Amino acid sequence: MIVYLIGVGPGDPELITLKAARIIPLCDVIVYDDLIPEEVLLLSKPGAQMHYVGKRAGRDYMKQPEINELLVTLARQGLKVARLKGGDPCVFGRGGEEALYLKENSIPFGIIPGISSAIAGPTSAGIPPTHRGLAASLKIVTAHEDPSKESGFLDWNLLAKETGTLVFLMGAGRIGTISEKLIKEGMAARTPCAIVQDATLPTQKHIISTLENIGDDALKNSMGSPCIIIVGQVAGLSRDLYINENKPLKGKTVLITRPYHLAGKTSEIFSAQGAHALMYPLIELNELPFELPDIHKTDIFIFTSQNAVPIFMNKLFSIGLDSRALSSSRVYCIGPKTRDALAGFGIMADGMAGEYRAEGIFEMMKDMALEDKRICIPRAKDARPFLINALRSKGAIVDAIFVYETILPAQANSDDFMAKVEKSDTIIFTSPSGVKNAVFLAGDKLDELRKKKLVAIGPVTADTMNRLDIPASASAKEYTDEGILNLLKGEPS
């Protein structure tokens, strides 16, 4: 048993440390706060227990003593626990309190530092927290303490005399009162200030102002939580150092409906182009029991899904064989993701469809001599029968093996799904099963779906969308994440 107190960084999932990324998949339980990136949660191993204990804007889902006790209870069950916190666990993250409680209860623990938003927030807006000639010191201050209180831990008179940089965390609701208090205690009203909201995320925005105007400017620009307030001469450097990357999808909020094991990679692709990527998996894979064909009597293997590759190969490994067993057979695949999955097992595909669907595979093979050839197709139970029927019409002996089925995730529910839909302007569908489940979850709120830009990965998914009365706004010409990306960027796909 052990509890790891892990800082996962300021928001951008790529800013998590290598150590945190290594430890999280080893843990049996994930106990996580608000604002933890979904991509980080996806690092957890399959079947890990998930406990949300978030706090935000004064609202506690679980009180701190309850969190402390939860960590002890889970650890005493012999479990490895990952306690995930935004930023660094010991910079206003109450990591020290939790560590002391674990020690008092004889629970082994480890602390894994993370990048604090107190550093990353200013930097992401082009504001170095320290700078020669402008700021030789940095003070990180909690803004949870009400400046109007007469007593407290903060010495406002001392803060007002600070010649370096002040960084206030968790202060969205107290921007005006903070500035008033500092001015009252003697800080110059024209001291440069900045507010950074959603630091390091695609939705980040910031404003540069002065101490006397920062409250009004925050209201005018609708600055809200989570935000960082920077006070000091370095704030003015943002005008020269902030790099405004005009990424093509900046301002778009894209909802990704792929299963969890694929959603993270897809999210990275869209986030890298400036989109705010949300995830709500509409399908998950359920592996099915199956028997392998006689490998050495099979002439051709066709993989029509990247998901089928590891399931099939693991079955092969379970009987003491590996990729060499396929060396005397030809192997074909449906597209680049499936080709890459095969390559991961040391199998180089003999051919890949020009069009990434079943029709494309048949087009590639239609002129081959297939009479009495034994063909094995590991596939999803609910996949279309087109390829099987087409190959049999050529005289092939086709063994279609159902290795998995797609099902609605157990945790999926209408309210959560529609909440994600409401936040999105673009929804991406990558399978007919996902479309069917979206319609089921939407229920009588299909009009809310139709208001969004609905994008299909290809014609098969688009046909399902049209048939179920949520017409596709667009369909990618290349049936991949990159094809969808190019479509949204307005480039030829």
Quick check: bond before 226 cis, omega within 30?
yes
Closest Cα partner for 179 from 187, 205, 136, 381? 187
Question: Would residue 55 show up in a list of annotated catalytic residues for this protein?
Answer: yes
Closest Cα partner for 5 from 117, 97, 78? 97
Query: Could you give the 3-state DSSP secondary structure of residue 486?
Result: helix
| Parallel/antiparallel/unpaired status of strands 59-60 and 55-56 | antiparallel
160-189 burial, b for 16+ CB within 10 Å, e for fewer? bebebbbbbbbbbebbeebbbbbbeeebee
For 226, residues 6+ apart whose C-beta sits below 8 A from its C-beta are 35, 56, 117, 170, 172, 197, 198, 199
Catalytic one of 19, 55, 452, 489: 55
| Parallel/antiparallel/unpaired status of strands 80-85 and 29-32 | parallel
Spatial contact of 474 and 492, defined as CB atoms under 8 Å apart: no
Catalytic one of 33, 88, 198, 481: 33
Q: List helix spans (H) across 139-202.
A: 156-160, 175-184
Residues 292, 295, 297, 302: is their CA dihedral positive or negative? Answer: positive
Closest Cα partner for 331 from 360, 310, 314, 353? 353
Beta bridge partners of residue 206, listed in sequence order: 196
DSSP 8-state secondary structure symbol assigned to residue 167: E
Burial of 365 (0-12, 13-18, 19+ CB in 10 A): buried
Spatial contact of 112 and 84, defined as CB atoms under 8 Å apart: no
Burial of 85 (0-12, 13-18, 19+ CB in 10 A): buried
Closest Cα partner for 265 from 197, 175, 337? 337
Closest Cα partner for 33 from 12, 8, 69? 8
Catalytic one of 85, 170, 465, 481: 170
DSSP 211-277: TTTHHHHHHHTT--SSEEEEESGGGGGHHHH------TTTT-EEEE-S-HHHHHHHHHHHHTTT-EE
Residues 440, 442, 445, 450: is their CA dihedral positive or negative? Answer: negative
Terminal alpha carbon distance of the chain: 50
Question: Would residue 170 show up in a list of annotated catalytic residues for this protein?
Answer: yes
Please list the active-site residues. Answer: 33, 55, 170
